[in-house]
């Protein structure tokens, strides 16, 4: 190639720098940062768990729950919870609020399998839970992998009971079954996207019948008995429950050089966690910060915890009212960063994220 062309290409084109080449000394720093990230991922597989764990960490780092109408000083740190499934954090800045705020927004929900309202059934002496996939998933990836059950159930007396099975040492796990290769001739003719269909994503939860006299659906009954003993729930309580099936795997390093993190839920917790830690590291900023961690992005940001609702706008209105500022002026002068995952190549790598430095 002609030297003049090479020089022109150098002047006009740009490639994203590889952090290990540009700043090799930061590789160790990134690895250390990811230890906290991996530990957080293991405790925050659902949006409810993310909010609970984040609030615990924020409280340990000087944050207080936001009080509507209260005036705060520069450097004060607060958090605001929306229905236990979305979270806003703020560090109050030096400049007047009407000069604008600095927004960073990410989401904390991830693709998964949700239980249907009446999910439990028995077939061929096996008990299953019917599911509906949440968000964009590659359905064939969800068969025969260990799954954990996470969620909350509201019992008849109104008590909210947290559910988590499959994460602790010694816990059972669950799975979506698949066919043996020599029994799958018809299935083998399907296109990849239909290898496992949505209506086939039913989760195996039991195979032992309830002992005793002849009864209808004895395997289902034993499953219900075990759930009742552990959580006090009955079959009707499924209609008052929000239960999710997620991969029962721990976050871990991938590769001999440990350069990748393999874990469930990194879309978009890789942005949400880094946004949270950046927010915590902020001290007396020039502009007031507002870090929004929202729900429901995977299905269109709908609902009262998604960004299609007004919960984040109402929060900014609360800030403006307390500061005696015009909210329209605040919004006009504000800048927002929308944070979501970007795959490093054209191939989708949903479970792997490159180690990066903690800086935003």
| pLDDT score recorded for residue 343 | 62
pLDDT at 125: 94
pLDDT of residue 341: 82
The pLDDT, as a whole number, for residue 349 is 36
Q: pLDDT tens for residues 32-55?
A: 999 999 999 999 999 999 999 999
- Give SS3 for 292: strand
Tokens of 157: 């007396």
Place of tokens 């395997």: 219
Q: How confident is the model at residue 339 (pLDDT cuts 50, 70, 90)?
A: very high
Q: Where are the alpha helices (DSSP H) in the chain?
A: 3-12, 19-22, 26-43, 47-60, 185-188, 218-231, 266-281, 311-323, 327-332
Burial of 264 (0-12, 13-18, 19+ CB in 10 A): buried
Q: What is the pLDDT of residues 179-200, one digit of tens each?
A: 988 888 899 889 988 999 999 9
What b-and-e string marks burial along 192-228, b requiring 16 or more CB atoms within 10 Å of the CB? eeebbeeebbbbebbeebbeeeeeebbbbbbbbeebe
Examine the pLDDT at 355 and tell me if it is beyond 90.
no
Confidence of residue 21 (pLDDT cuts 50, 70, 90): confident
What's the pLDDT score for residue 344?
A: 54
Give the pLDDT band of residue 1 (cuts 50, 70, 90): low
Of 232, 93, 95, 85, nearest to 153 by C-alpha is 232
347 pLDDT tier (thresholds 50, 70, 90): very low
Nearest residue to 286 via CA among 75, 122, 59: 75
pLDDT attached to residue 274? 96
Least confident of 2-16, 65-79, 113-127: 2-16
Say if CB 92 and CB 71 are below 8 A apart.
no
Mean pLDDT of the chain: 92
350 has pLDDT over 70 = no
Query: For the whole model, what pTM was predicted?
Result: 0.90
pLDDT digits (tens, 9 = 90+) for 132-145: 999 999 999 999 99
Segment 255-276 shows an average pLDDT of: 94
**Residue 18 binned pLDDT confidence (cut-offs 50, 70, 90):** confident
Contacts of 188 (CB under 8 A, 6+ apart): none
Residue 20 confidence (pLDDT) = 83
CA nearest neighbour of 172 among 141, 145, 205: 205
Q: Does the pLDDT of residue 95 top 90, yes or no?
A: yes
Q: CA quadruple 139, 147, 144, 266: dihedral positive or negative? A: positive
Percent of the chain past pLDDT 70, that is, above it, reads 95
């Amino acid at each position: 190639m002609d030297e003049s062309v090479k020089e022109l290409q150098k002047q006009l084109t740009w490639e994203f720098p590889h952090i290990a080449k540009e700043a090799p000394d930061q590789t160790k720093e990134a690895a250390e940062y990811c230890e906290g990230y991996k530990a957080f991922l293991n405790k925050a597989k659902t949006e409810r768990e993310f909010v609970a764990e984040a609030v615990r960490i924020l409280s340990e780092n000087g944050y207080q729950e936001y009080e509507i109408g209260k005036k705060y000083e520069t450097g004060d740190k607060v958090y605001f919870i929306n229905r236990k499934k979305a979270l806003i954090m703020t560090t109050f800045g030096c400049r007047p609020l009407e000069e604008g705020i600095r927004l960073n927004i990410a989401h904390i929900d991830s693709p998964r399998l949700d239980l249907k309202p009446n999910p439990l059934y028995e077939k061929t002496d096996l008990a299953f839970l019917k599911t509906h996939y949440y968000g964009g998933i590659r359905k064939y990836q969800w068969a025969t992998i260990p799954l954990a059950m996470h969620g909350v159930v509201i019992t008849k007396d109104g008590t909210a009971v947290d559910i988590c099975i499959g994460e602790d040492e010694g816990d059972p796990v669950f799975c979506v079954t698949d066919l043996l290769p020599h029994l799958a001739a018809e299935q083998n003719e399907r296109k990849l996207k239909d290898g496992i269909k949505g209506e086939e994503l039913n989760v195996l939860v039991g195979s032992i019948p309830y002992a005793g006299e002849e009864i209808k659906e004895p395997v289902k009954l034993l499953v219900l008995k075990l759930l009742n003993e552990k959580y006090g729930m009955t079959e009707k309580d499924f209609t008052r429950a929000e239960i999710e099936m997620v991969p029962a795997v721990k976050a871990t390093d991938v590769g001999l050089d440990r350069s990748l993190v393999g874990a469930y839920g990194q879309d978009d917790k890789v942005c949400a966690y880094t946004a949270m830690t950046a927010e915590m590291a902020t001290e007396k900023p020039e502009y007031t910060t507002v870090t929004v961690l929202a729900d429901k992005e995977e299905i269109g940001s709908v609902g009262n915890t998604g960004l299609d609702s007004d919960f984040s706008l109402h929060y900014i209105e609360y800030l403006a009212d307390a500061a005696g500022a015009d909210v329209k002026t605040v919004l006009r002068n504000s800048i927002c960063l929308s944070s979501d995952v970007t795959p490093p190549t054209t191939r989708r790598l949903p479970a792997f994220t490159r180690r990066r430095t903690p800086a935003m």
